[in-house]
Amino acid sequence: MEYLLTMTIKQLAEKIHNSVRLTEADALFLFEHPDLIAVGELAAFANERKNGKRVFFNVNRHINHTNICVNRCSFCAFSRTADEPGAYCYDMDEIRNRALEAAAQGATEIHIVGGLHPDLPFDFYTGMLETVRSAAPGLHIKAFTAVEIEYLARLASLAIPDTLERLKTAGLGSLPGGGAEILGKAVRDRLCPEKISGEEWLAIMGQVHRAGLKSNATMLYGHVESYADRVDHMRRLRELQDETGGFQVFIPLSFQKENNPLGHLKNPMSSGVDDLKTLAVARLYLDNFANIKAYWVMLGEKIAQTALCFGVNDLDGTVVEEKIGHNAGASSPQTMTKEAIINMIRKAGRTPVERDTLYNELNCF
Ligand code: V47
Ligand code: SF4
């Protein structure tokens, strides 16, 4: 058995060294392989071939404009109904102040996502983009998941491409990768039956890319899904990426279990080993993605740093005031200074590179 395992990982190593695309069976094999270090070494090799020792980060700030949401995803500790304690919705002054603060702190990006508010008009969203743009014209606005785009299109009674045009005109620069969760129907129905389907999420991302906007892609893992579900999720992303090339980065999001119904499961699957393996398999399987991000907010700083030896080349950013992961129990700090991120990358023997949202290099440290 040991011999067979060694043989197979050797065969996979040969494929990887010869840049042969991995199959879904290969990815599943890697997930199930007991030797994390062997899988990690292959991922580190594939990453270094693409990105050398360089590791990206950016200086950014999150704005979660409202937590009031018509959906009730089972993993979400962020959303509220309008009359629940803790429900909030920022006004334009609160949004402007956060944008001004971000610019003063040297940010290059504002990341805006929020709940699907039952009452806000479409103008609120274009107004929010315009407010951020006029307060901080130098900031790139990465905003709205594919789930929010579909909701806004319905609100505005517009087709998706027209909705995107309106948002672009108001200042939208690119899209984050949220709302993907697990794309396959069986798991998605358990996680978030009210949300758009996996097929719709992919179709909207296709339209986003065809509208000339880049986006990110995520995967929420470590709950009720199987390794096969993760591989199926990545297969769908890889196929769309072959078509459009519009995804900039893949970001696995490690499930946080506090304050949400899904967290009551006895044995949430995610662990340090699972986190590192997921990032490594993503690096190896998603051969058409340039960047794999370890989102330190969900992983914690130590696993995120260790991930730099497991195929990761991006650490996200300074973040500031993150609510989605922290409401669900993430124990990471609310923000990391630029100096702390640089130090973290250097201590892993890598070269820190500050990027903008579109992965242009700004500063190499
Ligand atoms: O779609 C919600 C996830 C996402 C939990 O594109 C949870 O650069 C873990 O997508 N445990 C939103 N995750 C956040 C997101 C994101 C974050 C950082 C960077 C980027 C990017 C995108 O957060 C949701 C959902 O998948 N989420 N609840 C939870 N309990
Ligand atoms: Fe609403 Fe998003 Fe939370 Fe689902 S994950 S309940 S859509 S805020």
Q: Is 146 in the pocket of ligand 2 (CB under 6 A)?
A: no
**What is the distance in A from the centroid of ligand 2 to the CA of 89?**
15
Q: Determine how β-strand 361-364 pairs with β-strand 109-112.
A: unpaired
Task: Supply the DSSP string of 23-54, one letter for each residue.
Answer: PHHHHHHHHH-S-HHHHHHHHHHHHHHHHTTE
Rounded Cα gap, residues 88 and 79, in angstroms: 10
Q: Is 260 in the pocket of ligand 1 (CB under 6 A)?
A: yes
Torsion on CA atoms 158, 250, 270, 4, rounded to nearest 10: 130
Rounded Cα gap, residues 228 and 130, in angstroms: 42
Q: Which ligand is nearest to the CA of 181?
A: 1
Q: Specify the pTM.
A: 0.96
Which atom in ligand 1 lies closest to the alpha carbon of residue 329? 30
Q: Which of 65, 66, 69 to mutate to test the pocket of ligand 2 (most atoms within 8 A of CB)?
A: 69
Cβ-count burial of 32 within 10 angstroms (0-12 exposed, 13-18 middle, 19+ buried)?
A: exposed
Would you write out the chain's pLDDT as a tens digit for each of its 365 residues? 444 455 689 999 999 999 999 999 999 999 999 999 999 999 999 999 999 999 999 999 999 999 999 999 999 999 999 999 999 999 999 999 999 999 999 999 999 999 999 999 999 999 999 999 999 999 999 999 999 999 999 999 999 999 999 999 999 999 999 999 999 999 999 999 999 999 999 999 999 999 999 999 999 999 999 999 999 999 999 999 999 999 999 999 999 999 999 998 766 667 999 999 999 999 999 999 999 999 999 999 999 999 999 999 999 888 888 888 889 888 888 889 999 999 999 999 999 999 999 999 999 99
Task: Supply the DSSP string of 262-302, one letter for each residue.
Answer: GGGSS-----HHHHHHHHHHHHHH-TT-SEEB--HHHH-HH
Q: How far is CA 29 from CA 39, 79, 333, in A?
A: 10, 37, 35
Nearest Cα neighbor of 124 from 86, 162, 91 is: 91
CA-nearest residue for atom 9, ligand 1, is: 255
Q: Is 51 in the pocket of ligand 1 (CB under 6 A)?
A: no
| Domains, the chain | 44-364 (3.20.20.70)
Q: Which of 251, 253, 320 to mutate to test the pocket of ligand 1 (most atoms within 8 A of CB)?
A: 253
Q: Is 305 in the pocket of ligand 1 (CB under 6 A)?
A: no
